A and B are shown apart, each in its own frame.
Chain A
Amino acid sequence: MKSVLDIKNLKVGFHSDEGFVQAVDGLDLQIGEGKTLGLVGESGCGKSVTSLSVMRLLPEKARISGEIGFLGEDLLQKDQKELERIRGDKISMIFQDPMTSLNPVLTIGEQIEEVIRYHQGGTKQEIRDRTLELMDLVKIPDSERRIREYPHQMSGGIRQRIMIAMAIACDPELLIADEPTTALDVTVQAQILALIRELQEKLNTAVLMISHDLGVISQVADDVAVMYAGQVVEWTTTEELFESPKHPYTQGLIRTIPRMDEQQGELEEIPGMVPELSQEFKGCRFYDRCPKAMKACKKADINLLDVEQSKVRCLLYSE
């Protein structure tokens, strides 16, 4: 299968007041054509930094190295002009908070139209028709009227649909959704996820779905990568992840999902805190919180190991 996105040994760091912060440290990921990869982890684990690296939207001070292969080309080698042509056209992105992600002083129509105008061109009428078509596609009712309205006149759910309409306007190869449902009500959340799934199948777009919520990931993703402290600790199919989680961190994450079907006493949690990324790491980064930690875990950096269908960064599975 052809891969759309192929990230190799991505490292992203920032200089901050606490020193150099290695937000992403040696990340490898792949997404095949028309597939959905879920990227999960706690806040601060480097998920969003990863997505912004792919878009090349990180602040200028970010130190970035490695390779972000996109359809055979390395995005890290592109200049601003080339990136502007790729963004919104071949790779597009949906952000977390639809309430703040749309420009309050431009009409909905204009915000969708400008993507088409800039990347594909066409007459005024063609662009308008295409915009209405997109609004119908993302199931915005009454699109003829809405096209002239402003973001503040709409609910969060509708705004996120508009974000999606903008994102799919040019039929991108890759759609990055960074916590697209986190800011929405649960019912709206389900609708938006269903919509993303439906469009993805219809348009055969590869999706990078970022979430801290395994529930969301389980609904949409084909594969899942679990991130911890700037690294992928487990990478496998969604089915495998939920049926037989390998890494102690993944196991912990799955245990923390509250269940309705059985008597549960206290809610589970993973003890301890996410480590500071400004420190030098040696060995396993989950060591301090891991119930199965061994002496050897702290001795040397651990590589991703192939275990059955999964890749796991854990010494429990080394020979």
Chain B
Amino acid sequence: MNILNYILIRFLWAIPTLLGVSILVFLMIHLIPGDPAQLMLYPRGTPEQVEALREQLGLNDPMAVQYFNWLKDALFFDFGKSVSTGSSVISEISSRFAATVELALSALSIAVVVGIPLGVIAARKKNSLIDYLCITFSLGGVSIPVFWLGLMLIFVFAATLGWLPVSGRISMDSGMQIVTGFYLLDALLIGNLYAFGDAVKHLILPAVALSTIPLAMVVRITRSSMLEVLSQDYMKTARAKGIPGRLIIYKHALRNALIPVVTVLGIQIGSLMGGSILTETVFSWPGLGSLIIDSINDRDYPVIQGVVFLATLIMIVVNLIVDVLYAYLDPRIRY
């Protein structure tokens, strides 16, 4: 079986998963006790308004009909209108989505670029000072609450030292024009380097805060997986062949050691892409996390459904990518 077949099969498997999730997301609105329309309008809805909303949401149709109607639209990313703002759910989401993705990718880049080399070094110098520092760091990283860390970062680097902005994605005076919604990309597209720098500055603190958990996990998993690989017979073979030390680590060992790291990263990407509620709240980052909190507070079910569905979709796509990466890294999985 070649890799394209493998990808195709993985892709087909994603369809039932997505359907299952769509049923759950759809039912969400019906699982809450009482009439969703009434709840959404609570406490001020008149019976006429409630009936109008029921009609608008299609709540008077049979369940199956409702589901298929909903699914048909959802497949085209049409989740209806937001109850609180009246604009379409997808437009609410898309402006937030870019912000979340930008933040999540930055945090993950930090986790990968810093975490993997640290893990490798810790494994090569097992039981040395640097190894102990890495272990302590990774224990701290997963233990420190992200909102506390975020506040401390703001306190030190924004409030006290004044090096970086406190919150938001961009300064008002940066001259930023939105093209794609990814500010770093947009700033480059419009050729505004000042805006680019400004966007980077805004990104640093939330990205660092958000990266601590994935970073700590990457360090830890890389280290332990690397230690295991280094003790394998084929590493002895590689050394017996006279392959130089660095090449042994990066060619023979790391690729074997990366498989569990990719698993962890996959899970982390999936959850970060759905929006990090705490980090986004602390840094007033206008992403999906803060959107979902707002819509839960407003009982804005169409928006909640949209975000959850989208987050699931991202999770599925990320899993797909992870599976493909596995196959790339480990030929045994391909066959």
Flag whether B277 is at the interface (Cβ < 8 A). Answer: no
List residues of chain A with CB within 8 A of the CB of B240: 55, 57, 87-88, 92-93, 95
Q: Knowing A103-B256, A104-B332, A105-B256, say if A80 contacts B237 (CB, 8 Å).
A: no
A89 B242 Cβ-Cβ under 8 A:
yes
B329 A100 Cβ-Cβ under 8 A:
no
Flag whether A85 is at the interface (Cβ < 8 A). Answer: yes
Q: Knowing A104-B332, A105-B256, say if A57 contacts B236 (CB, 8 Å).
A: yes
A105 B255 Cβ-Cβ under 8 A:
yes
List residues of chain A with CB within 8 A of the CB of B330: 104-105
Q: How many A-B residue pairs have CB under 8 A?
A: 75
Least CB distance, A116 to chain B, in whole angstroms: 10
Flag whether B244 is at the interface (Cβ < 8 A). Answer: yes
List residues of chain A with CB within 8 A of the CB of B332: 104, 150, 152
Interface residues of B in 246-288 (CB under 8 A from A): 251-252, 255-256
Q: Knowing A103-B252, A105-B330, A150-B331, say if A97 contacts B233 (CB, 8 Å).
A: yes
CA A319 – CA B176 in complex, angstroms? 100
A153 B335 Cβ-Cβ under 8 A:
yes
Flag whether A115 is at the interface (Cβ < 8 A). Answer: yes
What are 26 of the A-B contact pairs (CB < 8 Å)? A55-B240, A57-B236, A84-B242, A84-B243, A84-B244, A85-B242, A86-B242, A87-B239, A87-B240, A89-B242, A95-B233, A95-B237, A95-B240, A100-B234, A101-B233, A101-B236, A101-B237, A102-B237, A105-B255, A105-B256, A105-B331, A107-B331, A118-B244, A150-B331, A150-B332, A152-B332
Interface residues of A in 53-103 (CB under 8 A from B): 55, 57, 80, 83-89, 92-93, 95, 97, 100-103
List residues of chain B with CB within 8 A of the CB of A88: 240-243
CA A118 – CA B256 in complex, angstroms? 21
Q: Which residues of B are at the interface with A, using a C-beta cutoff of 8 A?
A: 232-234, 236-245, 251-252, 255-256, 329-332, 335
List residues of chain A with CB within 8 A of the CB of B255: 105-106
List residues of chain B with CB within 8 A of the CB of A86: 242
Least CB distance, B237 to chain A, in whole angstroms: 5
CA A153 – CA B233 in complex, angstroms? 18
Flag whether A197 is at the interface (Cβ < 8 A). Answer: no
Residue of B nearest to A103 (CB): B234
Least CB distance, B54 to chain A, in whole angstroms: 58
Flag whether A164 is at the interface (Cβ < 8 A). Answer: no
Flag whether A163 is at the interface (Cβ < 8 A). Answer: yes
B237 A118 Cβ-Cβ under 8 A:
no
List residues of chain A with CB within 8 A of the CB of B251: 106
List residues of chain B with CB within 8 A of the CB of A130: none
Flag whether A114 is at the interface (Cβ < 8 A). Answer: yes
CA A308 – CA B244 in complex, angstroms? 46
Least CB distance, A209 to chain B, in whole angstroms: 16
Least CB distance, B128 to chain A, in whole angstroms: 12
Kindly name the residue among A80, A100, A163 whose own CB sees the greatest number of chain B CB atoms within 10 A: A100
B252 A106 Cβ-Cβ under 8 A:
yes
B245 A152 Cβ-Cβ under 8 A:
no
Q: Knowing A103-B234, A103-B256, A104-B256, say if A166 contacts B331 (CB, 8 Å).
A: no
**Contacts A93-B240, A105-B255, A118-B243 supplied; 13 other A-B pairs, CB < 8 Å:** A84-B242, A84-B244, A84-B245, A86-B242, A88-B240, A102-B237, A104-B256, A104-B332, A105-B331, A114-B241, A118-B242, A150-B332, A152-B331
Residue of A nearest to B330 (CB): A105
A92, A97, A107, A153: the one contacting B241 at CB < 8 Å is A92
Least CB distance, B243 to chain A, in whole angstroms: 6
A103 B237 Cβ-Cβ under 8 A:
yes
CA A30 – CA B311 in complex, angstroms? 69
Residue of A nearest to B332 (CB): A152
Least CB distance, B255 to chain A, in whole angstroms: 5
A102 B234 Cβ-Cβ under 8 A:
yes
Residue of B nearest to A56 (CB): B239
